[in-house]
Structure 1
């Protein structure tokens, strides 16, 4: 007997990378359905919200075994077609379950059930505006860049390579003013939540149109209202972090990715997308230009510009009267300072502070000390759940793992020899703050790191304080180094520049160079000349010398030459098959079995590993990984799609969690 029931294929927010089949109840007219509607369905012992992907007459199993859906939630799809197409592309490219990707595109209040029509039509959290507040003068290089972008009028990727303080934001504003005048919307992506308030403040001085923030730090209702404002077209400018790439727009005319090199644009768990790369895909779908802006462009973007895939635009000089800072290198081998501050740096700090200027110190290590050490037997406090040491936090009186966030009280005696000879070793921002207070008791010290910015609004309060104090010491991690404008900072001290010089991760040197240039770029951003002091144990290192003496451009040319010789990205395409298990042996055996699935010629695909991740154990799970490398993106994707189902079958026999990480930024 022929089946007369309609079969619905539904994407669900589960780790299973497949569609699920359900029966359409007879009471629901199939003619009222369309792709992208949310539906409520039974799933095992739960009820889930899924997405209708396909309506068919044929089931892959016996129809009587299928359950009916419980409810069709929407009358029309919540996601506009361009965003729906982006999600389909992202799920396919990143090998993520479509249900999880589509759910990522919704604010939290819509992930759990039905939003009433009145709720969707309620006034969004924006104020009506009346157009732009007037244009400002660009210098010749800024104007040339802005005109090139505006001339495109459709999809094109522009790499805006501008030194720190060159006025990239002024170019963004000039271009957006024209986009707004044409009745379109603009999306600006920034890498850190802490950067959204300052860029919104800058934009509000030039626009009277509604501007919205969209990031994970917003309360659920505020995030929903911002999402709704973008969807309705009321928000003309949306500024957000990586998740804002999934904001719905009524008429998207421009995407800007500021600090495009930043690894924060890559999600590191579950759906591992890269917001910069999705911005390019979305620009193509919407036929909108995309600006990738940075003072330290990624090697991938530079390579694409070299091959004319992107249009390269340069701002080689600082705007106005500002000039680039000068560098001094302090050789720590001549005497490692106990408190982290060399005499050269201390003397310079006194001089700059005496001249009523500000000093910024960069130390990318929060806490008081990275190690608690027993001087009697050599015991070191380690995390029981991760392959890492516990960080000593004096202010909160605890030892803390910075990977799993596990905390414990500070012991009074060694856990191995039971002697009361424990000593915190090494330097963190908390300890350095205490040292600075001793050397500069009358100078305000403003510390910015994740430990003292957990409370909502704390970052903005600290940044405001930094702007209000004429003389101050600003101390922080990379949170402080990214994109901030402190006009009174004339001296920057980099406490330890060596972290990326000898890492096992091939990207570490690139990231080190980017961080040094970005931190140095906080000095002398207006009329006052800036100085940067770099403390290092390897002052003669060729890449460090190249960066300091010849700048970031030549530094990246050296790195690209090295990458080409080693066939590392961007001269190849990679993915990691990551496996997590209760023991390293289980994860290793699983990946060895996966390795045997290789179905393409050895000249097309290279499999390296399995090897332990750089952090071999995390949250009680051991992580092993298999590197997939190919000379062509399509070859790699074809290989991964060909083995994905078989990997699922192997995983069921190994009690394993696994994921594919396409274009990984961390090893």
Structure 2
């Protein structure tokens, strides 16, 4: 019997040897097989045909079945899986499980397309013509009318698998990959300015030469980065290549999809977490067969198998959403650059606010920078103005007659009113959803905390909405933990001292919505009632939510948009001329060392939404500390000068990108158990010769989450190869330590924070 090495979706850092019995065909590398594993039956991927095994042959089990006659995972995808598993120190079997659609992991077959074979019934002499049942005739007619029809489509039309197999056996139909029609450029491409033309020339040179080159398209907001993408994509499509475009959020997908469909007559598909398992499988198969010519996807799209990939574009490449925060903790930008290197294709990272790591890659000569310093159409950049909140803010009275202190200054309210009266739109940014982040008792100081986490409960309520029945009242007035989802109805009196004097501190998007509603959408206070849209995870839900929202905003009616970071990234709203950053101080006060960088990026990104269609744009940044040197440098000198200041600080402190970080996370039901696991892991690391800086044990930013306690260890190293060489041995040994039992241990390579 043939020996097989199989990767299984288990948390074990090893592959497993099985035998292929003579009655079964020998599966190729990259094929799926069904195997017994303990009391379970798992679907695994064959990764090798070894000549011998560490396990005695009489102890090896035979596989149950061969699922794929032809390998379903190509060599490129397998090579990528091996690299991901090695670099991120994650089990190979589970790495493949992350890369593949759920249906493929479960052993289901991908969609198959059928077309008429050369032996069409009409061309066969009547005496030799095979007899067909009514269903077979119906199926043959459907396939003739719709060439390259899929098997699931046929099944939905009542055609069974048995009928399809009968036609295959009679050689009347055959399996065919769909043949997409040649893509065409439609519409009139915009003329490029000199900077755009130079960037495009560099990208197309790499395309024509068929070489890898990483580009950082560093362009200010509104400078026409997307137009450069479109021209480069047109060149790649003309060469018969596929193109992958990565975006950080689902919210950007409809807008990007609409713009690409307006430019290209091609098969364009969108892949994101909002799709069903069947839709993901269809997209996966379309990439694999070459049917999909342009793929617009969120971070997991980097794992899809392309048969002719020619160009990768990562839009908003600075965004932290490209970093996966659980399971396989990869960064899509890093994976994109590695994939481009392997496939010898150019990779374009586009952003107005590059990360410090990307600036370091430019300095090291690993990325080629292409700068765009002018706004498209020579539009002026938005004008910044700091608003001192210490001078007072505007409050409002709700429908119950209760006065609430507001978040917006008098100067800000006047600017919003003037903008609306000019028929233009206003965007207000506050990166805090809910009504208020803190609920406490004014009598005894009781604070509403989560019973499962070491965090406060966020107050969610709306005085503008009323429940249709008593059992639904909590929907409009409740406390919720944003970490574990714990939720309770808002108490009417203090649970500790029974005082009715409950007060809320801080403001979220819901409270800001009510304040602006009272000022601009209440006929008693405003001569004109303006539409106000709240845009955050609580309000934008469902597959069509973004589409409806875009349609409403693009009517160009004067309105107010209130939102979290969902509105800060890459959106193109032509009639927005005023952007208000409601609170610029939060990010600069965070203990996270990356917080100033991320805060500056967000401020610059959201400010870029103003004045994108030739109109003058204005940005009001509210702060209690207008003398903050970091904020004033950002506003006066620009993001690049601010980033260089941060890079200098990071260099002096030997923090990333001037060192390589690894974060070890331990969580357990008891704090001491998690802490001991980290202490012993640190002790075991001292058995190796190294010059790492180690900080352990340290409490996680949220020590208790969902009834589990979290403790961490931070490792900083100067040399990446030395670090990974030790991790290859040390990490598996740590998992085997007695103190690691009953503890969930995770490793995060290049973490975003700690």
Output one character per residue of 1:414-436: Cα deviation in whole Å (capped at 9) or x when no partner.
12112222223221111111111
- Does residue 545 in structure 1 map to residue 632 in structure 2? yes
The alpha carbon displacement at 1:502 in A equals: 2.3
Helix, strand or coil for the counterpart of 2:752? coil
Structure 2: any 5+ residue segments left out of the alignment? 115-147, 151-176, 395-404, 463-474, 522-528
Change (3 A) 1:56 1:122: farther
Cα pair distance change 1:233/1:634, threshold 3 Å:
same
Provide the secondary structure at the position in 1 that maps to 2:377: coil
Q: In 2, distance between residues paired with 1:289 and 1:143?
A: 17
Structure 1 position 48 matched with structure 2 position 42: yes
Structure 1 match to 2:194? 140
**Which residue of the partner structure matches residue 8 of structure 2?**
12
Contact 1:392/1:399, CA 8 A, preserved across alignment: yes
Match of 2:480 in 1: 400
Report the alpha carbon displacement of residue 69 of structure 1 after superposing the two structures with TM: 1.4
- Note the 1:19-30 alignment, pairs <5 A: 19-29=15-25
1:643 to 730, 733, 738: 730
Secondary structure class of the residue paired with 1:224: helix
Instruction: Name the SS for the 1:56 alignment partner.
Output: coil
Give the stretch that moved more between structures: 534-543 or 476-485.
534-543
Measure the CA separation in 1 of the matches of 2:738 and 2:666: 9
In structure 2, the partner of 1:351 is 418
The structure 1 residue matched to 2:540, chosen from 453, 458, 461, is 453
The equivalent residue for 1:333 is 390
> Structure 2: how far apart are the matches of 1:412 and 1:11?
56
Distance 1:375 1:289 in 2: 60
Q: How does 1:238-253 map to 2 (within 5 A)?
A: 238-253=295-310
- Tell me the alpha carbon deviations over residues 289-339 of structure 1, each in whole angstroms, 9 at most, x when there is no partner: 000100000100111111211101000111103111111111223335521
The residue number in structure 2 matching 1:385 is 452
Measure the CA separation in 2 of the matches of 1:105 and 1:384: 36
CA distance in 1, matches of 2:637, 2:366: 26
Residue 24 (structure 1) shift: 2.4
Match of 2:91 in 1: 97
Matches within 5 A, 1:189-338: 189-335=246-392, 338=405
Q: Partners in 2 of 1:481 and 1:602 — Cα distance?
A: 46
Q: 1:654 deviation in Å?
A: 3.5
Compare 601-610 and 502-511 and name the one that shifted more. Answer: 601-610
Q: After superposing the two structures, state which structure 1 stretch, 652-661 or 155-164, moved more.
A: 652-661
Distance (Å, rounded) in 2 between the aligned partners of 1:460 and 1:628: 44
Deviations 1:328-381 (A, max 9, x none): 111223335521010010011111111111110000011111111111111111
Give the drift of 1:150.
0.8
* Counterpart for residue 237 of structure 2: 180
Please give the secondary structure, in 2, of the residue aligned with 1:610.
Answer: strand
Structure-2 separation of matches of 1:624 and 1:130: 53
1:363 to 1:9, Cα distance in 2 relative to 1, 3 A: same
Distance change >3 Å, CA 488–CA 363, structure 1 → 2: same
| Secondary structure of 2:49's aligned partner | strand
- Distance in 1 separating the partners of 2:260 and 2:602: 26
1:586 corresponds in structure 2 to: 673
Write out per-residue CA displacement over residues 366-420 of structure 1, whole angstroms, 9 at most, x where no aligned residue. 1111111111111111111111111111142221111111211112221211222
Q: Which residue of 2 aligns with 1:421?
A: 501
Measure the CA separation in 1 of the matches of 2:557 and 2:319.
30
How many residues are treated as equivalent by the alignment? Answer: 661
Task: Please tell me whether the aligned partners of residues 593 and 753 of structure 2 are also in contact (alpha carbons under 8 angstroms).
Answer: no
Closer/same/farther in 2, CA of residues 346 and 651 from structure 1, 3 Å limit:
farther
Deviations along 1:18-74, whole A, 9 cap, x unmatched?
212323223235xx3322211111222221111112222433233333322111111
Tell me by how many angstroms 1:615 deviates.
Answer: 1.4
**Greater Cα offset, 41-50 or 84-93:** 41-50
Rounded Cα–Cα distance in structure 1 between residues aligned with 2:110 and 2:415: 62
Q: Which has the larger radius of gyration?
A: 2
Can you list the C-alpha shifts for 1:536-589, whole angstroms capped at 9, x where unaligned? Answer: 122111111110001001000000000000111110101111111112211111
Judge conservation of contact 1:362–1:495 (CA < 8 Å) in 2: yes
Paired residue for 1:131?
Answer: 184
Structure 1: give runs of 5+ residues left out of the alignment.
none
Q: Spell out, residue by residue over 1:201-236, the C-alpha distance to the aligned partner (whole angstroms, 9 max, x if none).
A: 111111101111011111222222121111111111
- SS for the counterpart of 1:324 is coil
2: distance between equivalents of 1:220 and 1:642? 37
